[in-house]
Amino acid sequence: MDGKSTASASSKTPPLLSVAGVTLEYVAPGRTVRATQNVSFDVWEADRFILLGASGCGKSTLLKAVAGFVAPSEGEILLDGRPVNGPGPDRVVVFQEFDQLPPWKTVRENVAFPVRVSGRLGRNEALERADHYLEKVGLSRFAEAYPNALSGGMKQRVAIARALAMEPRVLLMDEPFAALDALTRRKMQEELLALWEDARFTLLFVTHSIEEALIVGNRIALLSPHPGRMRAEINSHEWDLKSGGSTEFQAAASRIHRLLFEEVPGAAESDHD
């Protein structure tokens, strides 16, 4: 790994998602919190793009901006070349919290519901699509169960099935496995990668775990501490779940740690420039 960005598509292909010079702020009377400053990156179709940085560096805010919940105070976000001006069914978020599923709907209804209300499919087709994605995440047997009968890992699988059922242009994941125990987290990473192998969706994934970033991502944006600025962008496609203990993997993780936390005088090290 040499720290150079290698976009997963040729430079002739326009990016699916383009975040260009984005500054994000929370403005309250008498107080403005700058979450990110002048952040730029491009995501191509089928990328597994990671936003990595310490707590408070603005990762979640960036994800919310791509989802259309937060508007940039500077810069712009383009999806398929069009400015993102608000939420849309082409971007779906999976959160960390286990309570993101309405508890009064069965698992099957939970997965089918957004597809149906978005007007994409009628009731029966939406249920069929729900069954398809529940099978993909190994939860067909629990289709008629209610979320409160499921473990945390199972709830996250339902949330992933629900997001994939929307067949979004970009799947947005905000520390989706952070609240799970270590073994379940690893299993979920494995399953997510298997789902990606199958469907080759485009993923924008937030984490503060260097190891998770290396395993899940093919490209990683490193953000400086608060406010988040691009420190570097690196290529990580060579690592997977089997790499974990290797010396090379540990060296890559150490290098990322240094890039994230060592004081860098002057500008960010992004190779976008």
Ligand X SMILES: Nc1ncnc2c1ncn2[C@@H]1O[C@H](COP(=O)(O)OP(=O)(O)OP(=O)(O)O)[C@@H](O)[C@H]1O
Interface with ligand X (CB under 6 A): 26, 33, 35, 53, 55-61, 208, 226
In the bound state with ligand X, the residue whose beta carbon lies nearer, of 160 and 206, is: 206
Provide the H-helix boundaries in the chain.
59-67, 107-117, 123-136, 152-165, 182-199, 210-216, 247-261
Cβ atoms of 49 and 219 within 8 Å: the answer is: yes
Fill in the amino acid letter for 19. V
- Beta carbon of residue 64, minimum distance to ligand X (angstroms, whole number): 7
As a whole number of angstroms, the distance between CA 24 and CA 62 comes to: 8
In the bound state with ligand X, the residue whose beta carbon lies nearer, of 139 and 214, is: 214
- Beta carbon of residue 170, minimum distance to ligand X (angstroms, whole number): 18
In the bound state with ligand X, the residue whose beta carbon lies nearer, of 116 and 208, is: 208
Place of tokens 């937060």: 70
First to last CA, the chain: 19
Convert 85-109 to b/e letters by CB count within 10 Å (16 or more is b).
Answer: eeeeebbbbbbbbbebbeeeebbbb
List Cβ neighbours of 181 (8 Å cut-off, separation of 6 or more): none
In the bound state with ligand X, the residue whose beta carbon lies nearer, of 10 and 55, is: 55
In the bound state with ligand X, the residue whose beta carbon lies nearer, of 59 and 157, is: 59
- Beta carbon of residue 6, minimum distance to ligand X (angstroms, whole number): 25
- Beta carbon of residue 61, minimum distance to ligand X (angstroms, whole number): 3
- Beta carbon of residue 36, minimum distance to ligand X (angstroms, whole number): 8
